[in-house]
Every structure is written in structure tokens, then in C-alpha cells.
Structure 1
Amino acid sequence: MSTPRLEINLKKIAHNAKTLNRLYGSKGIDVIGVTKAVCGDPHVASALVSSGISILADSRLINIRRMRKAGIKAEFLLLRTPFMSQAEAVVKYADISLNSEISVIKKLSKYAERNHTKHKIILMVELGDLREGIMPADLDNTIKQVLELKSIELVGIGANLACFGGIKPDDEKMNYLSSIAEDIEKKYDLKLKFVSGGNSANYTWFKSTIDTGKINNLRLGESIYLGCETLHRKAIPKLYTDAFTLVAEVIESKLKPSLPYGEVAQDAFGNIPSFNDIGKINRTILGIGLQDVTVSGLTPKSDIEIIGASSDHIIVDAKNTELKVGEKVEFDLNYAALLSAMTSPYILKKVELSLWTHKNIAKVLNKNTANIKKIFQTSLL
């Protein structure tokens, strides 16, 4: 089979999604499945829906369109706050969007009215991570303007933490968001369907808190796919951490010096490389590089060591492992590596459909098995 390739185990992804859905549901919190790391892959999306997740979120409209075209039966949330230039497409393809700019919301309202529909929005509130979000002091003014728009429905508020600034979601942050939601509901006589407290980083808060307050929603991606929380990347009990495996092929294997020789200058990426001289090593080259994947996010499954990488190659010290040309090497991936590998057109995505039959997918998509085989044929090559 072709390499490099990313092997995707749908059974493990579905298990993680079901387990997390049940875990958070025990305290009244619903899960939105985030598909951006898998580029809206319809196989993965169908596994999430079959696991009880009814809303899928993605940062890119092209991925939402991909899932809709494949027939995924779910509500779709645009995760990244909309571009002004994409307002019409947002209304067309996304049921809900996260928002922080009133000028964009007014543009969404314009196109929603033109299409005789209502577009649902969740207002993002800044809680300190300093990515997207309305400053709390400005929230009241924004809500007043939103409620004047006939084609916009305010369905919730949300916050994002531990993404840009690394700020932890804790009781103080979640209680503050809950109090804001409570104030909004009382002042404007509203019932907010979503009080979305964050993402996979909220696991530690969830496990330690006694009272989740009004937080009733989380947007989960990494914990579903990689089975870990995202503050310290510790594995979550009863979850699989190996649903994805990257496979690369050996294209050269020779006994060579460990220290490059000659006058040192910049490498291909403008860095001054530095190496330790440990004598001759089993120096092996793999047919995959930085143009394909974030190499720093790879962990070999065998006892070998990544020495470095260029655009098209990963160089490894095979140590005592005898790797021959044509043999395959497997890696676990962190979130950055998964994101880049799924995005790369040079890496084949191999979905293990033996563990997730066409019948399962057909049930989710409400299509017959023959149609499913046609839709997903390119992923089975």
C-alpha cells in the first residue's frame, strides 16, 4: 500500500466520542464534535454522529460543505468567527456560527433575510486567553444590537481558553461565564441554549468542579481523536490514544557518521544545525518530510530516534533496529502533527473500514450501501 499514509481507526474514534459524550453528559454538558483536525472527513464525521453527537463544528466552510455533500446528518457550527467576505456562504452552509464582531453579524443578518431564514449565533466572550471574544464590558451593547436584527437568533454565549494564551479554564473562569449567561437571560428575558465553556482543555476543570453552573456545552476535538486532555496532554482514562498512525517508508539505510562533516552554514530552513558526534550510526532516511507533516509532533512506535528533517525526508537513528529499504516505520502523532498530516495532500488517508462498515456509515447518512461505496471510493484506494 502507498506511503506515506495516515491510518485512521474509526472504531477507536467512535469509542472515544461515546465515552466523552457519556462522561460530560453525567453533569449536564453536551458535546459538539470538532472536525477541523480531520478536515471534515466524512468517515470520521459519520462516526461522531453515530456516537450520539448531533452538532459538528469546523473552522472552514470548505469542510462543512464537504460533510454536507457527503450527506452527514447533523447541525453544523462554524467554529472560526466568520469573514465579512464569506457572510453569504456562512448563512448558506452553517446552521450556527461563533461571532464577536457586530458588523459581521449585521452582514449575516442581511443574507439570512434575503434567503428568508434565520441564522443562529453564539457570541464569544473574552475571558483572558486573548484570541476571539467580546470584552465583557462591551457585551451589553452588542446584545442590544443583535436583538434588533430580525434574521439573527442569539442562541448562546461561549468562551475559548488554552488555545492562544494557554490560559486554563478553571472554576473562576467558568463561574464568571455562568454569571454572564445568567445576567443576560434575566435582563433580556432570554433562554440561552448554549453556554459553551470551551474545549478539550476543560477536562481537568470538569473532573474537579462540584458545580458546573450554567455551562452546558463543550467543543471537543483533540480529546476525541487523541484521547488526552490538552493542558498537560495526559491520557484520559478509558480512551484510546492511538486512533491515528502515520506510516512512512525507508528509502535509504546505511552506516554513516553521526556528525555532518565540512564547514557549517544554514540548512534548508535558515537554521544553523547542531549535532553530537556519537560515532557511526544506522542512519535511515524516510520518504516523508516537513512539507508533509509537523515532524516535531511525531513519536516513533519502535526504538528509533528522529535526528532531524528536511522538506522531503526524515532522518532517523535506527539504533539496534535493522531497517531495510522498503520497510515501514510507524509513528504516533500529537495534535499539530495530526492537523498537518490530515491537511497534506501528499499523505494517503487510509480509513479502517473493516472496523466501521459501509452499513454503519449508510445508517448515519441515510443512504444505501452502494451509494456509500461510491462516495468514499477515493479513500479506499
Structure 2
Amino acid sequence: MNLPRIDIDLEKIAHNVQQLKKLYGSKGIDIIGVTKVVGGNPIIADILVKNGIEILADSRISNIIKMRKAGIRAQYMLLRTPALSQVQEVVIHTHISLNSELAVLKKLSEYASRNHIIHKVILMVELGDLREGIMPSEMNAIVKEVLNMEGLALMGIGTNLACFGGISPDADKMNELSSIAIRLEEKFKITLAMVSGGNSANYNWFTSSKDVGRINSFRLGESIFLGKEALCRKTIPGLFTDIFTLMAEVIEAKRKPSQPYGEVYQNASGDIPSSKNKGLMDRAILAIGTQDVVISGITPKQNVAILGASSDHIVVDNTKAKLKLGDAVAFNLNYSALSRALNAQHISKNSINFHECASIL
């Protein structure tokens, strides 16, 4: 297969899903599979569903449409709170959406009721990370209105932590979310089917808590695909962390000065580069760049060091590896790098171990 490419081990994805379902299920928490990092890849989505994921969540409706057209049977959740301009698409193509704006909820209600559709909504609560969410003091008023909206079904409440402000989903935050859920259920005589405590950052809280309260759902992407929790990026025991491997081809291998020479101005990234003169060195250029992947988020598996990058090239110190023209360099990726690379149209996606994992369950 052409380079650059990402090799994707489907058997390891299946393993991670099964282990995470077992882990979180031990305390009554279901997991939702977040597909935005894989760009709604239908092959990967199919592995998630075949291994017990019932709800697939994505931030982009185009990814959800792609998975639905591929015949992936699941409940689909829109992760990013809907824009007013996409209300019709949300109702048509998704089953569940996360919401924080009353005006959007009213529009969802209008379109859903007009088309005889029941759309399920999760109301997001602001607990300190300062991304999306309704302030706790405003929840009663919002819930009261939503319960009277035709075409909408209040499925539950949720929160998002650690993504924007880096705020930990600790015991205090989760207890507060549980308390809000209990208060709403008692006040309005309802049962909230889902209380979504967060994402892959919730692992530390989960493992240290004997009682998870009303929390019964997590939205997981990083833990499934990278085998890590999202607060300190530590590996979760028993999970694979090497599911994805980025491969890039050497398109030049030469001995050159270690320091650019001439008058220095801004480079293609708008930076003014500085470097030390180490004399002549072996350098190699790879056919991949910042347009394809977050350079700071990749780690070479070979003994090379990244010297820098432009939109289409990565330059590496080739002194130890002695790479030749046409050789391939393999990289591990963090979540940000993986997200950009899997959504880059010029990087081939190569699924491996497909047949082995298709019959795991």
C-alpha cells in the first residue's frame, strides 16, 4: 500500500473494547464509542459494534452519515452541541444529541415534532472545565421547558471535563453530577436513563471509587484507541497502546550541514528557527508534514530524531539509523496526532488482523 499510511490493528481494538466494557461494567457503567478520532471509519465502527458498543458518538454529522451509509447499525450520538444551522440534519441523522442552548432545543423540538420524530437529548452541565454546559443553577428551568417540548425525549444529563480547562473529573465533580441528577429526578418525578460522567479522563476517579453514584455512562475514544487514560496519559493495565502505526517514506537521504546557512527570516510556519552547528550530519526527508499530522505528537520507532517539519516534509537526523532512499520510518502517535492523521485524506488507512477479530465474540 502507498505511503504515507497508518496500519490499524483491528484485533487490538476489539480487545480494548472488551476489556473496557468489562472494567466499567463491573460498577454498572456503559461505554459509548467515540469515533471522531478515526474520522467515522466504518471498518473500525463495525469492530466497535460487533464487540458490544451500542452507541457511537461523533462530533461531525458527515462522519455519522458515512457510518450509517456503510450499514453500521447503532444508536448515533452527536457529541458537539448542535449549531442552529444544522438542526434538521441532527434530527434526521442522529438519535441523540448533547445540548446546552435552549434556543437550539426549541428548534430541535419544532423540526422533530413536525416530522413525527422523537429525538433524545442529553443536557450538559457546566462543572468547571468551561467548555459546553448549562450552569447548575439554571438546570431546573431548562429541564422544565424541555419536558414540555414535543418531539424531544430527555434521556439524561452529562458533563465534560479535562478537555478544555484540564479540570479533573474527581470525586467532588462526580458527586455533584450525581446530586444534580437525583435532585432533578425527585423534583420532576422522572427517571434519567443516562448520567454521562465524562470521557477517558474519568479512569482514575472510577478505579478509586467504591460508589459511582448515579454515573452510568462514559464517552470513550482515547482509552479504546490508545489504551490510556486522558489525565496523565498513563496506560490502562491490560490494554494495547500500539493499535496505530504511522509509516512515512524516505524521499531524500544525504549528508549535509547541521545548521542552515544564509540570512534567517520566518520559515513556512511563521517561526524564526534557531539551531546549533554540529558540523556535517546524515539527514533524511520523509514524505509527510504538518498538513498530515501533529509533529509534536509522533514518536519514531527507529533511532532517528525529528529536526523539524514543513507542510509536506519531516526532516530527521539520520546519523544512527542510516536510512536509505525508499526506506520507511514508523511512528507511534498521541491522540492529537492520531486524530489529524486519520482524518487526512492523503494518508492511506490499512486495516490488519480483520479476519481474526471478526469472530472474537
- TM-score (structure 2 length as normaliser): 0.98
Give, in angstroms, the shift of residue 310 of structure 1: 0.5
User: C-alpha offsets along residues 179-236 of structure 1, whole Å, 9 cap, x if unaligned?
Assistant: 0000001111111010000000000111111211100000000110011111111111
Residue 64 in structure 1 maps to residue 64 in structure 2: yes
**Matched position secondary structure for 2:354:** coil
CA distance in 2, matches of 1:212, 1:254: 58
Q: Which amino acid aligns with 2:303?
A: D
Alignment of 1:34-53 (within 5 A): 34-53=34-53
Q: Which amino acid aligns with 1:83?
A: A
The alpha-carbon distance between structure 1 residues 331 and 153, as it changes in their structure 2 partners (threshold 3 A), is same
CA distance in 1, matches of 2:269, 2:117: 50
Name 2:358's counterpart in structure 1. 360
Say what the alpha-carbon RMSD is for the aligned residues. Answer: 1.4
Q: Which amino acid aligns with 2:136?
A: P
Give, in angstroms, the shift of residue 291 of structure 1: 1.1
Give, in angstroms, the shift of residue 360 of structure 1: 3.0
CA distance in 2, matches of 1:182, 1:146: 17
Residue 114 in structure 1 maps to residue 114 in structure 2: yes
Name 1:375's counterpart in structure 2. none
Tell whether the 8 Å contact from 2:129 to 2:164 is kept in structure 1 after alignment: yes
CA distance in 2, matches of 1:222, 1:123: 23
Tell whether the 8 Å contact from 2:14 to 2:357 is kept in structure 1 after alignment: no
Name 2:337's counterpart in structure 1. 337
Identity in percent: 58
Q: Which amino acid aligns with 2:354?
A: W
Give, in angstroms, the shift of residue 40 of structure 1: 0.6
Name 1:152's counterpart in structure 2. 152
Q: Which amino acid aligns with 2:355?
A: T
Tell whether the 8 Å contact from 2:112 to 2:119 is kept in structure 1 after alignment: yes
CA distance in 1, matches of 2:255, 2:36: 41
Q: Which amino acid aligns with 1:250?
A: V
Give, in angstroms, the shift of residue 84 of structure 1: 0.7
Residue 91 in structure 1 maps to residue 91 in structure 2: yes
- TM-score (structure 1 length as normaliser): 0.93
CA distance in 1, matches of 2:340, 2:144: 41
The alpha-carbon distance between structure 1 residues 196 and 325, as it changes in their structure 2 partners (threshold 3 A), is same
CA distance in 1, matches of 2:141, 2:214: 22
Give, in angstroms, the shift of residue 358 of structure 1: 9.8
Give, in angstroms, the shift of residue 359 of structure 1: 9.6
CA distance in 2, matches of 1:229, 1:333: 15
Q: Which amino acid aligns with 1:360?
A: A
Name 1:274's counterpart in structure 2. 274
User: C-alpha offsets along residues 271-301 of structure 1, whole Å, 9 cap, x if unaligned?
Assistant: 0111122222210000001111111111001
Q: Which amino acid aligns with 1:230?
A: A
User: C-alpha offsets along residues 36-71 of structure 1, whole Å, 9 cap, x if unaligned?
Assistant: 000110011011111111100000100111111011
Give, in angstroms, the shift of residue 21 of structure 1: 0.9
What are the ranges of 5 or more consecutive residues in structure 1 without an aligned counterpart? 365-381
**Matched position secondary structure for 2:123:** strand
Q: Which amino acid aligns with 1:19?
A: Q
